[in-house]
Chain A
Amino acid sequence: MQLYRSHVLVCGGTGCTASDSVKIIEELEVRIKEFNLQEEVKVVKTGCFGLCAEGPIMVVYPEGAMYTMVKVEDVKEIVEEHLLKGRIVKRLLQGAKAEEDASIEESDFFKKQMRVALRNCGVINPENIDEYIAFDGYKALAKVLTEMKPEEVIETIKKSNLRGRGGGGFPTGLKWEFAARQESDQKYVCCNADEGDPGAFMDRSILEGDPHSVIEAMAIAGYAIGANQGYIYVRAEYPIAVNRLNIAIKAAKEYGLLGKNIFGTGFDFDLEIRLGAGAFVCGEETALMTSIEGNRGEPRPRPPFPAVKGLWGKPTILNNVETYANIPQIILKGPEWFNSIGTEKSKGTKVFAIGGKINNTGLVEIPMGTTLREVVYEIGGGIPGGKKFKAAQTGGPSGGCIPAEHIDAPIDYDSLIQLGSMMGSGGLIVMDEDTCMVDIAKFFLEFTVDESCGKCPPCRIGTKRMYEILERIIDGKGEEEDIEKLEVLAKNIKASALCGLGQTAPNPVLSTLRYFRDEYIAHVRDKKCPAGVCKSMMKYVINNEICKSCGICAKQCPVSAISGDRKTQTPYVIDQEKCIKCGVCMEKCPFKAIFKNV
């Protein structure tokens, strides 16, 4: 095996690919050849590093120097300076760090993280099965098939206390045990890679960065429950993930790690990919299976549960990508190791996609029990512009918001539920003081209204009615009884909708009502939006004492809502009927004579 003195890891995740990391790799290869370094330096296209806000990301080993926002034009300098002369290019270092702690592990972003599910992301080339194997890949499958009985595998997973990472947090081992107990000629193992929460991309990154970990885990699950066929349901909008999965499955088959008689043990397991068309509801387990069967993706009532009657009526287990990514590590390191991470009832780590008003937008993996404050201020680098933290939404459109007063709450399944939110699949959206919580509730509800499958009336019509009420409130036409109506609807949709999507759809409204009721009341009673977001309730006014009648505002106004006269020095006024509240006038006024009244 050839040894290199230096490895250059370039992120090939979706974010960095979109900002030209592929061209950077090409340029790297050209320049490396130019200096005849190809025998000494190896370029690796890896999965996601997580710090997506600063992509494209490049990490050079052995130093571990992390370059961010690298441009194609920077490559020449990196090769000449760093790879040839051994001098780190300081201006490209993440956070423009001093040379001595340039190492990726030492950065604030990575220091508090603990990478289990993401362990290989940004480390190996996901398109090369040998690299996965070199990092203990398929060792867990070998151990399971050669040293363990199916019951022992299930016992190990049960003991690890691993809970589903897709949202519900159901104990994985228990799920496997239910399916294992069923007598059937055919069973299935499914992987839910239909990541649908807006802004969430944990599963995508795992599939892009470490597809074999999921494949290996599914084979382990197949052995544990007695299934020889698996399906990965992945959204068609994830082309890189799909491509790498395809490459990985093909390689695994060639190596005999999938297919007939794996490791000569007589165990057969095959995997197929099914592409989802992007309906959010297909992340719900019964809808997902209905979709795999070739039908309109709609949920069906439970019981019977999939473990009893799932895909094509056969016992089926369905786990999320991140759940699977934990499995090989648990098998190799033991349940005790996994139990040592996290809180009493939530073991292990959780990957979050952090977005919204935060400096380090991206993907992080933290031990359960890390506080929201640590995530926002330490890992996330705080809020841009030094604004105040107002709330964080977890659990996507099915979750709820956690207000500033609970910023020190530990992040785990149970405390999030207690706070009126949920873990969900791991989306975490940070909101600052400029956010209107009624508007946020409307934003999430708009998503569920759009994504409702239409099967049951509480979700199909109920969420629409809730949305209409929020629209009314935001338009300044709300009444106090609208708040009560929202509560009646929310309560009953939660109680009677058919599936988890419908049952959780009212959560954003319920949690904002719980913590920010005064904002709702301000909207309906005083017709005021305290955050100054809702356009119907604010107006721009020109202070005629400050106004110098320069006329710039009138010129900039896109709808000619401002009139006055420069020659006669008549102060300018805004016609509120015409004004579309775009704020251009205020921005352009050289004398700061225009104010936003909320």
Chain B
Amino acid sequence: MQMVNITIDNQKLQVPANYTILEAAREANIEIPTLCYLKDINEIGACRMCVVEVKGARSLQAACVYPVSEGLEIYTQSPAVREARKVTLELILSNHDKKCLTCVRNGNCELQKLSEDLNIKDIRFEGESGNYSLDNFSPSIVRDPNKCVLCRRCVSMCKNIQKVSVIDTNERGFKTIVAPAFNKSLNEVPCTMCGQCINVCPVGALKEKEDIDRVWEALDNPELHVVVQTAPAVRVALGEEFGMPIGSRVTSNMVAALKRLGFDKVFDTDTAADLTIMEEGTELIDRIKNGGKLPLITSCSPGWIKFCEHTYPEFIENLSSCKSPHEMFGAVLKSYYAEKEGIDPSKVFVVSVMPCTAKKFEAQRPELASTGFPDVDAVLTTRELARMIKEAGIDFKQLPEENFDDPMGEATGAGVIFGATGGVMEAALRTVAEILTGKSIEDIEYNEVRGVEGIKEATIEVADLKLKAAVAHGLGNARKLLDKIKAGEAEYHFVEIMACPGGCVNGGGQPIQPSSVRSWTDLRVERAKAIYEEDRALPIRKSHENPKVKMLYDEYFGEPGSEKAHKLLHTHYEKRENYPLDK
């Protein structure tokens, strides 16, 4: 890369020619405040918090989008810059509800932090402030325009990354509001509930629909047997909520905390992930052998499922009929487990702790109630679990080592890697390859499906079959891949799609990192590293070798794809209208 010489606050330095002033300033250890900026996602220079003086320019310039050039002279802390930033921030604050003490983002709010950093003591320009009603009709996402600062990160995430485009700016000027078209509710538009918008929101304008109170009520109800299960991605991110480094593995702390919260049993969704591999692997082999609809596409990600039902209904037949792992687990808990433990299934209350907001929507799908009761009763995001732990006064970092409960507390490395993009594919390959070849395979790390590249392809030779696989993560990439398949430009046997970029580790329910961290650290990579470490640390790394899964088939289901398995572990999908007309 060609370098250029610039001067920032009288410091001379050389930076790559493709840098913005903001990036260059970081090299000089100068932190320029930002609000709308999110690297690679939202670089629009809208919020004007990062303005700087550029010698020769008529007005102040946004550092986040201003390209450096040879000889550029920049002042980031001049009186004019400080005053402009303060006035702009006061203006933003004058149209913000400022109910910080009761805000879900209290203590993790970029606006609050800015206000502190810029030493705001007074808001000189108070006036009319937006008075909007809350959009809380979606089972997953709550939208509060009174807190919105119109940074548009959510818009860009939804439109440019996920390519779902259900929110954008409506109206103009002071009346501008980020909302679905015609200010409809998120529940009335083809929102996939992926929650990526929440993760990029600098303030509390977007948040998950909280289910904490329902879980506390269940825990306090002596009649209920409250069981909790945790998804693989939760254990590699929960620590961030307690100030631990990104990518910390906190499995045992998490289990210990859940036990202290009063759950009767703490199970691992990974066990059900192994079960999913048995069912989905069997389905794949069956479709390949018997001329079924190909490619088979994974169905673990409820955001992806809803997207498919709205936008790509022609692929519904390609979807695996397997329920997502936590739903499978819920059905097992209310059937096999309840019978085995002698508990009335109506008294079993299943809580899923998920990195995901779409799971909240999924849990409410009427067809996911195989036993007559909802498979899962409540879904908590990783963030909500952290809040409960804090509320209960548990010192998360100082907990003794504890393990998941029996009879279903054992999982394999294959189940764990479900948390990262490519993980379901890799877990399936570990099992399918052995079933098809009938041999034990040593080299089980399929690196070609790992990593954060948008679409990954692999051809794996299994017995006499050249298995063609593709992995897409993030719905924008899913769109690309599906369009390719639709156009006949690509053919696969097996496709993994996850709604969230990076897969579940970066799910819409995961801890929120501010732009100042997220812009410079790839959360997907750091958390996935922890996932693969967890995999390597486990003694069993193939789903079909999980003794608990074997036990389940021996004692209850018979074999994968059996009638009983179909009744409890499989589901179906429906085409959904995108913008249903008002009746």
Contact = CB atoms under 8 A, between A and B. Distances in A.
Given A300-B44, A453-B172, A465-B94, 13 more contacts: A301-B62, A453-B176, A454-B173, A455-B44, A455-B46, A456-B46, A457-B48, A462-B125, A492-B84, A494-B59, A495-B59, A495-B80, A496-B51
A460 interface: yes
Contact of B60 (A451, A453, A454, A496): A496
B29 to A, nearest CB: 24
B169 A296 contact: yes
B46 A498 contact: yes
A470 to B, nearest CB: 12
5 shortest A-B CB distances, which residue pairs?
A454-B176, A452-B173, A301-B45, A492-B87, A461-B91
Contacts of B428: none
A163 to B, nearest CB: 16
Nearest to B67: A303
A456 B62 CA distance: 11
B410 to A, nearest CB: 53
A496 B62 CA distance: 8
A279 B51 CA distance: 26
Contacts of B83: 492
A428 B548 CA distance: 84
14 contacts: A452-B173, A457-B149, A458-B48, A460-B150, A460-B176, A461-B95, A461-B125, A461-B174, A464-B127, A465-B91, A465-B127, A488-B124, A492-B84, A497-B59
B446 interface: no
Contacts of B173: 449-454, 460, 464
A495 B171 CA distance: 25
B65 A452 contact: no
A495 B60 contact: yes
Interface string B364-375: 000000000000
A303 B88 contact: no
A143 interface: no
B82 to A, nearest CB: 11
Which of A303, A451, A455 counts the most B-chain CB atoms under 10 A from its CB? A455
Contacts of B94: 461, 465
Contacts of A303: 66-67
A296 B168 contact: yes
Contacts of A488: 87, 124
B128 interface: yes
A503 B59 contact: yes
B92 interface: yes
A279 B172 contact: yes
Interface string B280-303: 000000000000000000000000
A485 B92 CA distance: 16
A497 B124 CA distance: 19
B67 A304 contact: yes
B47 interface: yes
Contacts of A451: 172-173
A452 B174 contact: yes
A69 interface: no
Interface in B69-104: 80, 83-85, 87-88, 91-92, 94-95
A438 B214 CA distance: 57
A301 B44 contact: yes
A304 B84 CA distance: 23
A496 B174 contact: no
B553 to A, nearest CB: 55
Interface in A427-460: 449-458, 460
B583 interface: no
A464 B174 contact: yes
A135 to B, nearest CB: 40
B67 A498 contact: no
Contacts of A464: 127-128, 173-174
B439 interface: no
Contacts of A461: 91-92, 94-95, 125, 174
Which of B61, B62, B66, B125 counts the most A-chain CB atoms under 10 A from its CB? B125
A461 B93 CA distance: 10
A489 interface: yes
Contacts of A293: none
Contacts of B51: 495-496
B124 A456 contact: no
Nearest to B43: A301
Which of A300, A454, A461, A495 counts the most B-chain CB atoms under 10 A from its CB? A461
B171 A489 contact: no
A498 B168 contact: no
Nearest to A465: B125
Contacts of B47: 456-457
Contacts of A301: 44-45, 61-62, 65-66
A304 B68 CA distance: 11
Contact of A457 (B67, B88, B171, B172): B88
A105 to B, nearest CB: 42
B65 A454 contact: no
Contact of A489 (B45, B60, B87): B87
A455 B59 CA distance: 17
B175 interface: yes
A468 interface: yes
Contacts of A450: 173
Given A449-B173, A456-B47, A495 B84 contact: yes
A301 B91 CA distance: 21
A468 B59 contact: no
A497 B176 contact: no
Contacts of A304: 67
Contacts of A460: 150, 173-174, 176
B227 to A, nearest CB: 48
Contacts of B92: 457, 461
A498 B128 contact: no
Contacts of B128: 464, 468
A457 B149 CA distance: 9
A176 to B, nearest CB: 22
Interface string B152-185: 0000000000000000110111111000000000
B60 A468 contact: no
Interface in B165-216: 168-169, 171-176
B129 to A, nearest CB: 10
B163 to A, nearest CB: 15
A124 B58 CA distance: 43
A454 B66 contact: no
Interface in A273-309: 279, 296, 300-301, 303-304
B168 A456 contact: no
A461 B150 CA distance: 11
A498 B124 contact: no
A495 B61 CA distance: 9
